[in-house]
Amino acid sequence: MKTRIVVLSVIISFALFSNAYPQDKAIEGEISLTGVWVNVDGKEGGKAKFTEYRDLKEDGGFYGRAKLKLDTEKYFLNFNAGDFAYDTQFYKIDGGIWGNFKFDLFYDEIPHNITFDARTPFLGAGHDTLVGTPNTNVSTWNTFDHSIERHQYGGGLKVDLIKPFFFDTSFQREEREGIKPNGAAETSPGGRAFELPEPVDYITNNLKASVGYAQKPLFLSFNYFYSDFNNSDTSLNLPANFNAPRAFSLPPDNTYHKGAFKGAVDLPYNSKFSTNLGFSKGESETSIVSLIGSHYEGKVETKNYGFALTSNPVRLLDVKVYHEYYRRNNKSDDPLGVADIFLNYKISTFGAELGLRLPQSFYLSGGYKYARTKRNKKGETDPAEVLPFNTDNVYFADLKWGGLDFLEARVGYERFDRDTNYRTLESQGDVSRRFSYAAQNKNTYKALLDIFPLEDLNVGLEYRHRKIDYSDTIFGLRNDKRNEFETNADYVMGKVGKVYGYADFGWIEFDRLQQKTEGLPAPADWGAKMKDRTYGYGIGNEIYVIPKKLILVFQHDYVKSNGSVDLTLADIFFQPAGGAGLAGIGANNSNIDISRWDDYTLYSFKIKTICNFTKSLAASIGYAYERFKYNDAQLDNYQFAPTGGTNAAILTGAYKDQSYRANIIFGGLTYKF
Amino acid sequence: MRKKPFALLPISLVFLFVFIAASSARSDEGYVGSETCKGCHEAAFASYAKSVHAKKAIPGSPVNKEGCESCHGPGAQHAEKGGGRGVAIFAFGRKVDAREKASKCLACHGDMRGMEHWDMSMHKTAGISCDRCHSPHMPKMQKDLLKEREPDLCFGCHKNIRSQFNKQSHHPIQEEFVGRQAVKCSTCHNPMGSANIKAMIRADSVNDLCYNCHAEKRGPYAFEHPPVPENCLSCHEIHGSNHSRLLVRKPPLLCQSCHNVGRHPITPYTNLHSFTGPATSSKNRFFARGCLNCHGNIHGSSLSEAFIR
């Protein structure tokens, strides 16, 4: 509270000082103070979801904001700050001398709340060692919050003094702390599942610098980026009930250097050649006592380059040809040869696009892209696990028409074909196809319409359809289908106000087939079709009850998603003899489908009145209501310690009970000077 | 015969210089000065006078050239004809060709930092002119003279992205009652184009971009999960998802999309395996966070090939 009072006092003093010299309006700004009262009806997860990325105190609070702007013919200085002493507080100063240089300094915070009052039978949540003996008496467990807070500060400098040469640099430091959920198996392999409180205590430093020359026809820049990530905790030490190694590895410290060159030169015939070259080195280090030795040193290098030629030689023709190359080379140290999952890959891309201006205000564009991905794992030994290569061919076309003053229409199509080259007979013969690498045919269609029947009325309509067929896949993800329909409109009603709205509808379907080869008398197939139906709309208006004096604002948003999984199992799964144990629980194909799959309704409305008493003084008062209703087969009727022998679990409650209902009343004063 | 292409070089250079000289030449005819414009366009002039375009300290700014007419062209005929929108003046109207409008801005901003990839950008390809996003006279955001704040500005055209951000799991770009926007569209994308042609991201690969904020995922890890260092988008949506942690699908079905050979990954987990269901075995692989209940270090591990440590 003291911080808030001090900061606000400084701002108010600044405001009074500026008004002492009303003839000099080089300084202007505003200060505001908003009181917010919040009532949240929800459990631990709901209260966290309500404040997922914000800091709203349930008992209410006052939120201050301040803006100052000093702007003269030669120099400028801006100060912008708010939410003093809250977890969302921010401060930024930027300024400079026009045409010479600009600088900025900032500090800000943002939380990410996942679940409040999570539980664990162990002591030490938030630290690097958990101690205790797991038990199922949840009421005796210790509580903590799954919540992370980011604090970022830094600054930057852009120098134009020696134009056309330039120099930019910036530095940012982020301190992240809190707890997030992570999971470990008690024994290896299998055993009880343990959801653990993972300590987050990270510091990341980022430094960027860029020097260059920018004056037509030439642009050149040399760029350097350095980043280091430090984790205070190397590992989370686990209690005695866990099998060795009794440690859970946490993200290792790493450093990253990247150098890049960018260049562009204007050529005759309205053409331009651009290039981008880069190389990077990332290294990590952990001294955790691991399976692969006492000290692991990770090292990854990347190289990339790209060239592009664009040309608009005559008005009716646009041409673009390009080539890109990206290579990742994992050179990590593997003294015992245990960690064979060091991924290397390289991607080469060639593309060409052509745009044609046609009569009757048509514009036709199209192109072709070819990409080849080669990947391998260092020390590949299992021929069945050798990763395949991919060849992608992409064709696309787009037709735009703007023949009418009040209408713009566009249709587009893209065809994506991926071929997969399995490099060993064993990997080719593998019945499963991993969708990241599997052959696929993807068709994407889109149609867009923008209508402007009146000067102040805009209406937009959009439809997209995308279907991916994993053509060679028998077992695995076989198709992915999406349809999206969106519309929006806004209308400015002269001095009366403005209204706006949007509506969306989308449905997604994934279809996959799998075979269970173990635990049954004979291999048997089972399939799952996942469906998501999501629709939403929003409407809002601003009514100028008394123009420039009294404004009424209303906003309502609604999103509803209904997900489901349609499971189809071969009969053998349900047979008492040799089945998968499903007969014992009375399962059959009509009662196993999952009807609640991340189902939710997000509903909110806000009403606000703004009264401008004078040019300097304004007040606002309002009310907002938010409702989030969540149902899910995996999280409903949550149990912290479900039983089941070796298939039991000890959970912390992460993501449970996310539903909430909140009432927010707010009001405040703003003073501009 | 072999020397012929080189013989064309000096000719091309001559043409080039003539072209450059011709395009840089300017006639003073037809200019009336900003004071004349102010006579009728008082509000527009006032906004211009407050903007960076009127800063004499910035070399090459309109105020150091022809003022209003730097962008709108000579106004003598417009004034003589008594004015009117688009009458003998360049008015940046909706029907004016995007390239013509862009050329006015690029005359000064073409060699600005960040514009080096404009010619490759999807926005240029799609015929988006500068005035679709920027308003020198009536900006809602003084920084970069934007017409609207992000993301509303971007959602005007990218309607499908708005619907994705409205989903329950999303990056925090439009949270209410948050002091500042932690993430903006322009944090990840450069609307002026980048070396990444289609998505215009501010990095050479998707993963390089994600690591800017999620540096702990960068590794390199002793045990890598192969799709992870290649492409975060194998498992995560970019803008928004119905599933927590921006997942494209929900575990266990996401994981089973690839892991469908041997042991428990090939087990069908049904509604009856939920907390309230009667199944007694393999429950923990379905409920709560599914596979992640055990395989928590799914982005990489220093200890476990199965990502359970």
pLDDT single digits (tens) B84-98:
888 888 888 877 888
Cβ-contact A205, A173 below 8 angstroms:
yes
Cβ-defined contact of A351 to B197 (cutoff 8 Å): yes
Cβ-defined contact of B218 to A284 (cutoff 8 Å): yes
CA distances from A521 to A401, A569, B282 (A): 62, 15, 19
> Tokens 């999807």, residue?
B122
Supply the pLDDT for residue B17: 45
pLDDT tens track for A405-454: 889 999 999 999 999 999 888 888 877 788 889 999 999 999 999 998 88
Q: How far is A614 from chain B (nearest CA, A)?
A: 21
Question: Cβ-count burial of A13 within 10 angstroms (0-12 exposed, 13-18 middle, 19+ buried)?
Answer: exposed
Give me the numbers of helices (H) and strands (E) for chain A, helices first please: 3, 30
Q: How far is A124 from chain B (nearest CA, A)?
A: 18
* Pick among A319, A487, A561, A598 to test the B interface (most B CBs inside 10 A): A598
Q: How far is A14 from chain B (nearest CA, A)?
A: 21
Partners of A652 in beta bridges? none
Q: How far is A205 from chain B (nearest CA, A)?
A: 10
Minimum-distance CB partner of A400 among B127, B287, B295: B127
Supply the pLDDT for residue A3: 52
Supply the pLDDT for residue A671: 96
Q: How far is A538 from chain B (nearest CA, A)?
A: 10
CA distances from A617 to A276, A494, A668 (A): 51, 24, 11
Q: How far is A636 from chain B (nearest CA, A)?
A: 7
Give me the numbers of helices (H) and strands (E) for chain B, helices first please: 13, 2
Residue B20 has pLDDT above 60, yes or no: no
A334: closest CA among B226, B223, B306, B304? Answer: B223
pLDDT tens track for B177-233: 555 677 899 999 999 999 888 889 999 999 999 999 999 999 898 888 988 999 999
Chain A positions in Cβ-Cβ contact with residue B163 (cut-off 8 Å): 484, 486, 504, 506, 534, 536
Supply the pLDDT for residue B285: 86
Cβ-contact A621, A583 below 8 angstroms:
no
Chain A positions in Cβ-Cβ contact with residue B271 (cut-off 8 Å): 591-595, 633
State the amino acid at position B55 in one-letter form. K
Bigger pLDDT: A417 vs B277 = A417
Rounded to whole angstroms, the Cα distance separating B206 from B196 reads 10
Q: How far is B109 from chain A (nearest CA, A)?
A: 10
Minimum-distance CB partner of B172 among A110, A247, A256: A110
Q: Residues A450, A456, A460, CA angle at the centre, nearest 5°?
A: 20
**% of residues, chain B, pLDDT over 90:** 45
User: What is this structure's pTM?
Assistant: 0.91
Chain B residue with the nearest C-alpha to that of A595: B271
Cβ-defined contact of B292 to A183 (cutoff 8 Å): yes
Cβ-defined contact of B293 to A332 (cutoff 8 Å): no
* Pick among B105, B116, B241, B243 to test the A interface (most A CBs inside 10 A): B116
Chain B positions in Cβ-Cβ contact with residue A194 (cut-off 8 Å): 293-294
Chain A positions in Cβ-Cβ contact with residue B222 (cut-off 8 Å): 286, 290, 292, 296, 298, 332, 334, 339
Cβ-defined contact of B263 to A580 (cutoff 8 Å): no
pLDDT tens track for B53-112: 999 988 889 999 999 999 999 999 999 888 888 888 888 887 788 888 999 999 999 888
DSSP assigned state of B64:
G
Instruction: Extract the tokens encoding A415.
Output: 């065809």
b/e per residue A400-417 (b: at least 16 CB within 10 A)? bbbeeeeebbbebebebe
Chain B positions in Cβ-Cβ contact with residue A302 (cut-off 8 Å): 204-205, 208
Q: What number is the average pLDDT over the span B225-246?
A: 94
Supply the pLDDT for residue B299: 95
* Pick among A101, A210, A330, A432 to test the B interface (most B CBs inside 10 A): A432
Cβ-defined contact of B305 to A597 (cutoff 8 Å): no
Given a cut of 50, the residues of chain A with pLDDT beneath it are 1-2, 5-6, 8, 12-13, 15-24
Rounded to whole angstroms, the Cα distance separating B106 from B113 reads 12
ipTM (interface predicted TM) = 0.92
Cβ-contact A252, B218 below 8 angstroms:
no
Residue B259 has pLDDT above 80, yes or no: yes
Q: Which residues contact A316 (CB under 8 A, 6 or more apart)?
A: A356, A357, A358
Q: Which residues contact A102 (CB under 8 A, 6 or more apart)?
A: A94, A95, A96, A157, A158, A160
Chain A residue with the nearest C-alpha to that of B174: A53
Cβ-defined contact of B258 to A436 (cutoff 8 Å): yes
Residue B4, phi then psi, degrees to nearest 5:
-55, -45
Supply the pLDDT for residue A296: 77
Question: Cβ-count burial of A257 within 10 angstroms (0-12 exposed, 13-18 middle, 19+ buried)?
Answer: middle
Cβ-contact B123, B117 below 8 angstroms:
no
